[in-house]
Amino acid sequence: MSHTTNEYGQPIGEPLPDWQPRALPQPDVLEGRYCRLEPLSVAQHGEALFAAWALAEDGRDWTYLFAGPFHSKAEFMAYAQQMENSRDPLHFAVIDRESGRALGTLALMRIEPKHGVMEVGHVTFSPLLKQTRMATEAHFLLMRYAFDQLGYRRYEWKCDSLNAPSRRAAARLGFQYEGEFRQAIVYRGRTRDTSWFSIIDSEWPQVKQGFERWLAADNFSADGQQKHKLEALRQRP
């Protein structure tokens, strides 16, 4: 981190004379090429989400989350209503533009307008959404909203340090690993060390360019296979 020096010869952070607190994210619709994000609504999305998540073979997708798995529709709908009512976390449903169905959710959370910081979390993708162009684009749409529309300075990703798939996803999406918070959380009756990742505003243009290149139609073959990996396109000049 760059710094300057005060009148006492102490190193201090670079001044931000024009900084103003940023606006809170709103329950807006965010449109993409393959998917769109809609503010979570039980009435609009509840049935489709429950059906999509029910396609999973077992409950392993919920191991590192604070809620679920849900064994009845009533149990899930009650949880979804809590999600809909919340503004931090602010939950979005991921909608397949082709079918119009909700296939998963993710949220903006730990929102700090004063500092220009927010986190993506509660990422819960059904088997119909995992490892698809829509899944990658959903993350891109939220990042673009945070950096380009709202002008935030820092966008975070946190996960259980033992959640290897989440750690790999963070690295693939362009987050930089920052370290471990030991014994940070107690959940599900067990301890958790938390891994921290972030993207900051100075890194965003390169991260954004990688997403745009990867999501372009010409990066996919006729059968939908990627021609170039996201990491490679982000690093290419």
CB 104 within 8 A of CB 135: yes
CB 92 within 8 A of CB 112: no
**Side chain identity at residue 37, one-letter code:** L
What's the whole-model pTM score? 0.96
Residue among 40, 45, 75, 69 at smallest CA distance from 55: 69
Q: Which contacts (CB < 8 Å, 24+ apart) does range 67-74 have?
A: 68/124
- What's the CA gap between 142 and 74, in Å, rounded? 29
Is residue 93's pLDDT more than 90? yes
55-81 pLDDT tens trace: 999 999 999 999 999 989 999 999 999
Strands (E), the chain: 3-5, 11-13, 30-31, 35-39, 90-96, 102-112, 117-125, 154-160, 176-187, 190-200
Residue among 119, 128, 90 at smallest CA distance from 194: 119
Task: Kindly state the percentage of the chain with pLDDT values over 90.
Answer: 97
pLDDT at 167: 98
**In order of start, what are the domains of the chain with their CATH numbers?**
27-235 (3.40.630.30)
pLDDT at 15: 93
**Side chain identity at residue 50, one-letter code:** F
Q: How many CB atoms lie within 10 A of CB 66?
A: 10
162-215 pLDDT tens trace: 999 999 999 999 999 999 999 999 999 999 999 999 999 999 999 999 999 999
Is residue 6's pLDDT more than 90? yes
